[in-house]
Amino acid sequence: MSETDARADVTVVLPDGSELSVPAGSTVEDVAYEIGPGLGRDTVAGKIDGELVEKYAEVTDGDRIEIVTDQSDEYLTVLRHTAAHVFAQALQRLHPAATLTIGPPTDEGFYYDVTDVDLDEDDLEAVEAEMDEIIAADYDVERVVRSREDAMEIYADNEYKRQILEEEAADEEVTFYVQDGWQDLCQGPHVESTGEIGAATLLEVSAAYWRGEEENDTLTRVYGTAFATESDLEEHLEMREKAKERDHRKIGQEMNLFSIPTVTGPGLPLYHPPGKTVLNELSEFANGLNRENGYEEVETPHVFRTELWKQSGHYENYKEDMFLLDVNDEEYGLKPMNCPGHATIFDQQNWSYRDLPQRYFENGKVYRKEQRGELSGLSRVWAFTIDDGHLFVRPDQIRAEIESVIEMIFEVVETLDLEVEVALATRPEKSVGGDEIWESAEEQLRDVLESGGYDYDVEPGDGAFYGPKIDFGFEDALGRVWDGPTVQLDFNMPERFGLTYTGEDNEEHRPVMIHRALYGSYERFFMVLIEHFDGDFPLWLAPEQVRILPVSDETLGYAHRVKNALADEGIRVEVEDRDWTVGRKIRQGHDDRLPYMVVVGDDEAEAGTVSVRDRFENQRGDVDLDVFVDHLVEEHDEKRVEPDFVTSTE
């Protein structure tokens, strides 16, 4: 019997739920060969419990295994990781003194942080040409195992790599990936050769802090992207150009929605009247859904004594990201989350099992001290508002409440014509609560998703330490996915706050706390909507819904009577009274992204009618004013995505 045969087997779980026994010490690649020789030959990398790993990674008993081939979604991530190495090799060919730090793949491509080299965007063309040569040479990408001692010697002059070795690569042996004699410390995974990169390009240069910490060295970050084919790259670059045109910062300035001036401080947006109008409509929509579903509104202050944050556990976990201040020798903190305040409200009175669930909601402003290099428009800010909801429920109520929350989330999604990606995040390695309640909670979440017919991914180990969760990512019109709504089960905070209710047995019981948000944060959701609609908001969200365009000064009086008729029904309407031609007024209305324009001249004034144009340049004349007003009210109340008066009445 061979030594391999003598070793005990381990059992791994395959994507279809079946189990496979393999010898202890087997790698992901070995598992693939056990499934079939063709799959073994095609293996590029793998996923162990949802984490992307190199194909040489060893599996252990109970691991959930996925095999990554060039047909897998994850293949592009692996390819881009290799492209980051190709960039680094090309850079050091041209600038041998350049010091490398880290270069990971990203959802959009890759980046590499470097120092000891002056780079601007004019330098990228030469580096990209060198990358093309490396790709064309089709060098093998080889995995090499070295001792930590040898690695330390290799990086004797690179303090950044040495820090990685000291803090993250604690094993006696570490891995390098080598191509054409050039090497980089890396865990992988990578493709087999540089020639597998069908097309790559460099995009921009920016500054970044080492480890993302402001007190650390400032590095040069070079962004790039890579694809398996040239056509895929061209499609991506076209989409990138469209994304620039839809950039919420650009549209926000054009439509006077918001600003983040330097004088106010980083990540602290100011909402101008048009932007606040949109936010108010979103708030009213969410508030209505909350009240319809039995939530009661609460309010908590922006700042608490830090004793509260210590009790909730946020002080320990979020201290570095909190804004702290001393008041009369006491420490206070701006709230990074709303949930401790809601838990404290629940704790102010006694509850019976008959009283549960208790449902609170608050559009609560919170503050997190993100690194300045991570701030970006409304997508990541210091001050943001969460459409927060917290429910205090009995364990037997979890499923029904989760179903209700998901229905609310999908009402938001469908109303705004958005797409979402759904994921179930399960128990992480570090967690609180017993096995039984975790298993029950995960099963209830899974049952809700499956019985509701929702397509979802499983993210093993990505749950919060206090409970499993369902995450929803919004996919915008450009196919990009942004973090959005979430439903989280929490067994930790009720324990920390000593929350109880009296059960049927007259004994005290611990409630389960559910955290949920329908939008996520208003800031990021606003960003998604601006870019999703390209500023062409549906009528109910549009800051200005109708503009009256008088043909001449003689019809100004009638234009204002039309305005008053619309305004009386709550329509946001203005009169364009500048001394312009009608054609110029119409062009300006299109530039201002108006759902509707109403042209009024002598004929309309005499007949008491209007001529209506929508943003698609559809038009209809001789419209009875009352008919138009009734339609606007109906279109607003039904929250239709597109203005449809002209097309629905032809």
Binding region for Zn(2+): 339, 390, 515
Q: How would you class 550 by CB atoms within 10 Å of its CB: exposed for 0-12, middle for 13-18, buried for 19 or more?
A: buried
CA separation for the pair 515, 492 (Å, rounded): 12
Q: Are 576 and 592 in contact (CB under 8 A)?
A: no
Q: Which residues pair with 276 in a beta bridge?
A: none
CA separation for the pair 529, 251 (Å, rounded): 11
Provide the token pair at 266.
């980083």
Q: Are 241 and 132 in contact (CB under 8 A)?
A: no
CA distances from 603 to 117, 608, 619 (A): 71, 8, 16
Q: Which residues pair with 58 in a beta bridge?
A: 27
SS3 of residue 84 by DSSP: helix
HEC string for 112-156: EEEECCCCCHHHHHHHHHHHHHHHHHCCECEEEEEEHHHHHHHCC
- Asked whether the bond before 189 is cis by omega within 30 degrees of 0, the reply is yes
SS3 of residue 288 by DSSP: helix
CA separation for the pair 94, 71 (Å, rounded): 34
- Between vectors from CA 636 to CA 631 and to CA 642, what angle results, nearest 5°? 85
- Asked whether the bond before 273 is cis by omega within 30 degrees of 0, the reply is no
Encoded amino acid at 574, one letter: E
Q: Are 344 and 390 in contact (CB under 8 A)?
A: no
Binding residues, as ranges, are 339, 390, 515
Q: Are 227 and 109 in contact (CB under 8 A)?
A: no
CA-based nearest residue to 267, from 369, 123, 390? 369
Q: Are 590 and 619 in contact (CB under 8 A)?
A: no
CA separation for the pair 351, 499 (Å, rounded): 10
HEC string for 231-273: HHHHHHHHHHHHHHHCCHHHHHHHCCCEECCHHHCCCCCEECH
Q: Are 359 and 395 in contact (CB under 8 A)?
A: no
Rounded to 10 degrees, what is the CA torsion of 36, 41, 42, 48?
Answer: 70
Q: Are 546 and 572 in contact (CB under 8 A)?
A: yes
